[in-house]
């Protein structure tokens, strides 16, 4: 076998980038936890000042900053010997309430990777690994990664794309948010539509405990409640709107969930299905976003689905046709794609 040196160098170049990014993931978490990005966003400063402002040790901060600058996450001014964030870096790294929050994504990824041995064992046995068996940072990272996208798009684009849903929400609708995790989507909807009532549910008890805390903190008690229940068993219908954010593909029995949701919907109700952005063919997804999703899916989505009854494991790159098949099998009258972002596709199903 002859080795093409140019192709080898290209591949090694990619590998160095990936290896640096893998280690940098932990460093992003350090920067987030210790408040480095937040303080650096204020103005350029030398390592000593950043260390003093954050109550940390200068030598560590020095090394951290060098790695961040090498990776393009922080700027270095060799004349002034100061580090800073560009407005774009600050936008994505320093503001958990902005439209993109990169540290949340790295927290999610690092949390997922802690299950490496469980996942390796599962490859051998074919058994599942439930969402609840993962490290706590999976749950908080998921919330911190997903919430900004929901804050940017849910009330502004996604709900208005559904036929007649906003008018009902404004007048006072009954809403169920299944597979709600920490309830980021539930809370955002509750804030946007003060006349409506919301029931978030998730099979994972610890997530529901956190969701209840978030609601109490947000002063939404009374209009928002959370219950531990699977998407196949939640109660309290008829609902005007049922939502499911990034969870249908995680389920072992998505058709059972879809059927149950249909039973819980009012005759003129709507199910909003938010799923990862994906094409229908594998080759459509062989790109950076597909890589992110397939890699998360190997550690989280497929193992979770295999841990549940039902025989499905759609994975995080299911695509529109696979979701349509689930919805159609559950007997819905209509199904359509109503919105999308680089990370999500939003579908509307009516009973
Ligand atoms: C990727 S997380 C998304 C959480 C939340 N919807 C969000 O967008 O932040 C998937 C969620 O689906 C939940 N889940 C998995 N299988 C479920 C099932 N059969 N019924 C209800 N929830 C389920 C998990 O516990 C987890 O909270």
pLDDT, tens only, 123-150: 999 999 999 999 999 999 999 999 999 9
Which helix (DSSP H) or strand (DSSP E) does residue 178 occupy? strand 174-178
SS3 of residue 35 by DSSP: coil
Please report the pLDDT score of residue 254 as a whole number. Answer: 98
Whose C-alpha lies nearest to ligand 1, atom 13?
Answer: 179
pLDDT band at 1 (very low <50, low <70, confident <90, very high): confident
Q: Other C-beta atoms within 10 Å of 37: how many?
A: 22
Give residue 186's pLDDT band: very low, low, confident or very high (50, 70, 90). very high
Strands 174-178 and 239-245, sheet pairing: parallel
Does ligand 1 have an atom closer than 6 angstroms to the CB of 230? yes
Taking residues 15-24, what's their average pLDDT? 96
Greatest CA separation found in the chain? Answer: 70
pLDDT tens digit sequence for 62-91: 999 999 999 999 999 999 999 999 999 999
Question: Does residue 233 carry a pLDDT above 80?
Answer: yes
SS3 2: coil
- Atom number, ligand 1, closest to the C-alpha of residue 146: 9
Beta pairing partners, 200: 177, 226
**Chain centre distance of CA 121:** 25
- Do residues 300 and 250 make contact, with C-beta atoms less than 8 angstroms apart? yes
pTM of the model: 0.96
In contact, 179 and 250? CB cutoff 8 Å: yes
CB neighbours of residue 285 within 10 Å: 21
288 alpha carbon – ligand 1 mean position (Å): 24
What digits encode the pLDDT tens for the residues 251-301?
999 999 999 999 999 999 999 999 999 999 999 999 999 999 999 999 999
- Is the C-beta atom of 179 inside 6 A of ligand 1? yes
What are the distances in angstroms from CA 171 to CA 104, 116, 135, 196?
A: 34, 48, 40, 7
What mean pLDDT do residues 47-64 have? Answer: 98
């Amino acid at each position: 076998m002859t080795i093409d040196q140019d192709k080898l160098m290209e591949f090694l170049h990619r590998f160095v980038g990936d290896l640096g990014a893998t280690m940098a993931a932990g460093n992003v978490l350090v920067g987030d936890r210790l408040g480095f990005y937040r303080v650096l966003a204020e103005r350029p400063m030398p390592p000593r000042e950043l260390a003093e402002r954050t109550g940390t040790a200068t030598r560590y901060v020095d090394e951290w900053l060098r790695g961040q600058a090498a990776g393009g996450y922080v700027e270095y001014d060799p004349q002034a010997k100061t580090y800073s964030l560009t407005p774009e870096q600050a936008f994505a790294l320093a503001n958990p309430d902005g439209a993109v929050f990169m540290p949340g994504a790295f927290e999610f990824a690092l949390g997922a990777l802690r299950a490496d041995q469980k996942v390796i064992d599962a490859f051998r046995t074919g058994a599942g690994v439930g969402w609840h068996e993962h490290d706590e940072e999976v749950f908080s990272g998921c919330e911190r990664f997903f919430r900004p996208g929901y804050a940017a798009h849910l009330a502004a684009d996604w709900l208005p794309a559904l036929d007649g849903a906003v008018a009902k929400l404004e007048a006072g609708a009954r809403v169920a948010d299944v597979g709600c995790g920490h309830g980021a989507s539930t809370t955002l909807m509750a804030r946007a539509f003060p006349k409506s009532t919301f029931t978030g549910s998730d099979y994972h008890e610890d997530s529901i405990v956190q969701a209840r805390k978030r609601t109490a903190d947000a002063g939404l008690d009374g209009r928002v409640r959370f219950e531990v229940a699977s998407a196949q068993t939640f109660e309290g219908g008829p609902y005007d709107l049922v939502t499911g954010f990034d969870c249908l593909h995680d389920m072992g029995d998505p058709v059972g969930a879809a059927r149950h949701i249909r039973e819980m919907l009012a005759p003129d109700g709507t199910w909003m299905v938010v799923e990862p952005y994906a094409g229908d063919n594998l080759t459509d997804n062989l790109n950076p976003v597909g890589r992110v999703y397939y890699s998360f899916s190997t550690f989280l989505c497929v193992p979770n689905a295999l841990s549940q009854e039902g025989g499905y494991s759609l994975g995080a790159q299911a695509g529109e046709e696979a979701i349509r098949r689930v919805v159609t099998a559950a007997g819905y009258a209509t199904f359509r794609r109503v919105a999308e972002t680089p990370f999500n596709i939003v579908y509307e199903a009516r009973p």
